[in-house]
Structure 1
Amino acid sequence: MAYTCQLYATYLILKRYDVKLLSAAGLFIGGALVLLGIISIYVSGLLATSLIIVIAIANSQRVLLGLGVTALVSYIFWYYYQLDTSLLVKSISMLVISIALLLMRWTLIKGYLANIKPSANDNQERHS
């Protein structure tokens, strides 16, 4: 259910910003969504909290972003202190998730954001 909501929210956000699915940004977002879906098989709350964070960022809602980050941190604490799985398995899964998210961030910065040229207005706004 959460994956369906994530797919629909991604579709609506891409449609709002007129990003084609077969463009570089669309393919990156689709790949990140698939990776997040695979990771969330083992850590189910990650997908739901990331959905809240993405919707908050897309709509510039600071309160919702704060609630999403708080929910994510709370879920990580709850997941880590569950007693049905050993701490070793949970630590390894959290390590794999953090490495995957850091790699996605690095790919975004190096591959996608490096191609964006700052405009002259950006520099003027920062100095004033």
Structure 2
Amino acid sequence: MSTKVTYLGVILFTLISFSFQAQTISKPSAQFSSDLLSTLNPGNDLGISSELKDKIESENRSYVQDIMDIASGDDDDDTKIKKLTNRKNQRDGVLESAFGNDDMLKSYKKKINKEIKPFKRKYKLAKWVL
């Protein structure tokens, strides 16, 4: 009986080790970049001005490029996560000042969160950037 428990414990420990190892940040594909950029696109359904839309799209392009650079870098995963978090916070500040209107910003973030869900399964990096 105790041998079965020991074997089961070893198997369980091995599976847990593999799942932790799988959470590393690897270099994202070019498809990730285009998918994320299209997801961040504010679209026409929010009723924002073309000037604001251009400003948001410019920030989104810069944001996606920075994410790609950070994820492709040689830093360890903890450093990458810190850099991604800092860049995300910086982007949030830019969006808050650009929108100015909390209701519009909330609508934009709600739209983004809805559209990003499928990518969180496809791309592990997506959970760190939104």
TM-score range, shorter chain: 0.3 to 0.5
TM-score, normalised to structure 1, is 0.45
Structure with bigger gyration radius:
2
